[in-house]
Amino acid sequence: MDESENSMDKQIDDNDGTKPEKMFTLKKWNAVAMWSWDVECDICAICRVQVMDACLRCQAENKRDVMGRQDCVVVWGECNHSFHHCCMSLWVKQNNRCPLCQQEWSIQRMGK
Amino acid sequence: MSTPARRRLMRDFKRLQEDPPTGVSGAPTDNNIMIWNAVIFGPHDTPFEDGTFKLTIEFTEEYPNKPPTVRFVSKVFHPNVYADGGICLDILQNRWSPTYDVSAILTSIQSLLSDPNPNSPANSTAAQLYKENRREYEKRVKACVEQSFID
Ligand SMILES: [Zn+2]
Ligand SMILES: [Zn+2]
Ligand SMILES: [Zn+2]
């Protein structure tokens, strides 16, 4: 279900035709399947908390936004691995690679 | 008090207890979660078999963005272990990833015991014997296995 979400985003981004893009997306699906355990559980592999919950750092500092919610977003890389933005921004300062697949890290999208 | 590094180490400990890898064990020291004691049992079908090798792991507040310092307390005769117990292992240095936890660290060290890398030696005698005189290497390793019972 995560995968189809990603491919929909892709299609909206590039309105011109889906044929070459589709092949590219399929290749990526293979990579996701290899790590399916991580993806299904949606655990941030850095702090080991579910990506939908606040990261360990935000939990420790008990950061909240004006609505009283914890304000800690998820970041997806081009490799489709997801982490807390807080966790990843500390790591990329040292090494700009995805800690799971070692590909160069570039952000695909951010959000909840 | 409860910093992100400490919270992460609590999770590492929980995972180690709930899903213990075979042949390794570890726990934080009583008064400091940043310092752990661990034991690696020598892997089967290697000259390290039956040994119980003790280690200390020291974490900083930068964990898991920075690797901990891992050191054998027991004497280990191995091409990639320094005389002071320090370990030459890429994942504890330049190939560190913040996705590793204590369980991954200990199992990696355990597999280093089975598969030494004699090309980046920390103990040149051990590396040379490993390559050129396997019998003598195994003899020296077995001597530390016996020593590890007494320690
Ligand atoms: Zn995280
Ligand atoms: Zn956060
Ligand atoms: Zn990745």
Look up the CATH number of the domain holding residue B83.
3.10.110.10
How many Cβ pairs closer than 8 A exist between chain A and B? 37
Which domain does B140 fall in, by range? 2-146
Ligand closest to Cα of A86 equals 2
Residue A24 lies in a domain: no
Distance of alpha carbon B139 from its chain centroid, rounded?
A: 21
A59 vs B7: CB contact, 8 Å cut-off? yes
**Token code pair at residue B37:** 């004691």
Ligand closest to Cα of A81 equals 3
Which domain does A84 fall in, by range? 43-111
Name the minimum distance, in Å, from the CA of A20 to any CA of chain B: 34
The structural domain count of chain B equals 1
Least confident of A29-38, A74-83, B25-34, B58-67: A29-38
B99 vs A46: CB contact, 8 Å cut-off? yes
Q: How many CB atoms lie within 10 A of CB A102?
A: 12
Look up the CATH number of the domain holding residue A78.
3.30.40.10
pLDDT at residue number B57: 98
Tell which residue, B144, B14, B31, B97, has the closest CA to residue A98: B97
Residue B133 lies in a domain: yes
Query: Which amino acid does the sequence have at A58?
Result: C
Residue A52 lies in a domain: yes
**Mean of per-residue pLDDT scores for chain A:** 73
Residue whose pair of structure tokens reads 């091409």 in the numeric block: B79
What is the enclosing helix (H) or strand (E) of A82?
Answer: strand A82-84
Backbone angles phi, psi at B4, to 5 degrees: -55, -40
Please give the order of strands across the beta sheet that includes A74-77. Answer: A82-84, A74-77, A107-111
Residue B151 lies in a domain: no
pLDDT at residue number A3: 46
Residue A76 lies in a domain: yes
SS3 content of chain B, % helix, strand, coil (to 5): 40, 20, 40
pLDDT at residue number B53: 97
The structural domain count of chain A equals 1
State mean pLDDT over A6-35.
Answer: 46
pLDDT at residue number A67: 61
Interface test with A, best of B99, B100, B101, B103 (most A CBs within 10 A): B99
Residues of chain B with pLDDT under 50: none
Peptide bond into B64 cis (omega under 30): yes
Residue A13 lies in a domain: no
Distance of alpha carbon A10 from its chain centroid, rounded?
A: 14
The 3 state secondary structure assigned to A13-54 is HCCCCCHHHHHHHHHHHHHHHHCHHHHHHCECCCCCCECCCC
A47 vs B4: CB contact, 8 Å cut-off? yes
Residue A22 lies in a domain: no
Is A8's pLDDT higher than 60?
A: no
Name the minimum distance, in Å, from the CA of A58 to any CA of chain B: 8
CA of residue A44 to ligand 1 center, whole Å = 5
Residue B15 lies in a domain: yes
Residue A15 lies in a domain: no
Residue A5 lies in a domain: no
Q: Which of the four pLDDT bands, split at 50, 70 and 90, describes residue A70? A: low
Residue A107 lies in a domain: yes
Q: Which residues of A touch B8 (CB under 8 A)?
A: 47-48, 56
pLDDT at residue number A69: 59
